[in-house]
Structure 1
Amino acid sequence: ATVRALKMHGGMKKTELKEENAHAVLEGIHNLEKHIETVQAFGLPYIVAVNRFITDTKEEIQAIEDWCGKHGHPVKAVNVWEEGGEGGTALAEELAELIEKKKNNFTYLYEENDSIEEKLSKVAKVVYGADGVTLTSKARKQLAAIEENGWVHLPVCMAKTQYSLSDDPALIGRPKGFTITIRELKPSVGAGFIVALTGSILTMPGLPKKPAALEMDLLEDGSVTGLF
């Protein structure tokens, strides 16, 4: 977790995130709360790692630590952003100790023999806190083809905005009373999963007919041409 992200989920504008606001941190901490519940749903031990940034204040970090302490969540503030791996050593040691002490009760969210729609619905409800999923007519046609080809046993991979628990980037915090719209289902049979495109999310674009790499070359003196 970061102070900046929690303040954004607490309603602050991105241009204001450098300003101290412990109240906004606590307003946005419900987003973190949902992520904790998701980890708990998998039956795994966890620590809330707060990655410090140079603009964070002691009061803002303390607000997170106090909230975690009040609700029984282990928490550790770390300096990975500033110090790299060395700044996370204390966290790694504490996590290793936690793993040794806490029992791993890992469980899946859905069964392999669940229908694709059931798998999508369980992920949406448990991970995102949604009421369920809605499939577009295009997605339903693709679902029928997936069923006909016998790919129903495959797990699902949800492609969704990272800015919200919902499929709407504008819904910050911990939204409730929403559904996830599945607009397209793409089978990645070789990889072994069904990709569900939600909301207006875009996947990485493919290459054009003539990729830029075709014009690139390495000269004898070691210089590169064709980059621009």
Structure 2
Amino acid sequence: MVSPALPRRRSAYRVLPARPFVAAMTMLLFTFLLYVVEAYDASTGQSLDAEGGIIARDPSHLDGVLFAPLLHASWAHLESNTLPFLLFGFLAMAGGFGQFVGVTALVWLVSGLGVWVFSPPGTDTVGASGVIFGWLVFLLFRGFFAGSAKQILLAVVLFFLWGGVLFGLLPGQPGISWQAHLFGALGGVLAARIVAGADRRRRGGETVAVPR
């Protein structure tokens, strides 16, 4: 006879990655790639920023949606993004590498398309901050959608430590793309919702065979 599976600890409730060393090395390698790209960009007079940035509403630069998060306007820009990039990316791997890739891809695209559509015409936008905001908001919301007390507690801690950066969602700061931040955050909320919904469907389909 087949009965519903008994409740068990699931990856949806994790706060830290199941394989923290692998997750940490993945984020370190990802960050190293950003530094390699910036080193090449600096050596060529920031030519990559001009070629690979998101130039708002310019169809010939729509591919900047894919490349802009890998580029930074300066070493200072990259350095300011490094710690939150490492930390939030690491924590976002708690649900597994496949989920991390899906969440990152969604945030990456929503943020980039929002910049391309809503930034002032001709604006060239680069940087990983849209992805960073998406990861942060994903981490803030996933616990509420999943009903995980541990994840909600982590969200409270992250908000206490990093909540001030959410002012970057508001327009008015010169040289700051609030569009990238806002749409990255919206992508993070959407990703958290999708992950929670997928987990509920998975739970609903779990069964175990019980001998008669």
Does the pair score TM above 0.5?
no
Q: Of Structure 1 and Structure 2, which has the larger fraction of its residues in helix? A: 2
Higher relative contact order (CA 8 A, sep 6+): 2
Q: TM-score, normalised by structure 1?
A: 0.28
Q: Of Structure 1 and Structure 2, which has the larger fraction of its residues in strand? A: 1
Q: TM-score, normalised by structure 2?
A: 0.29
Structure index of larger Rg: 1
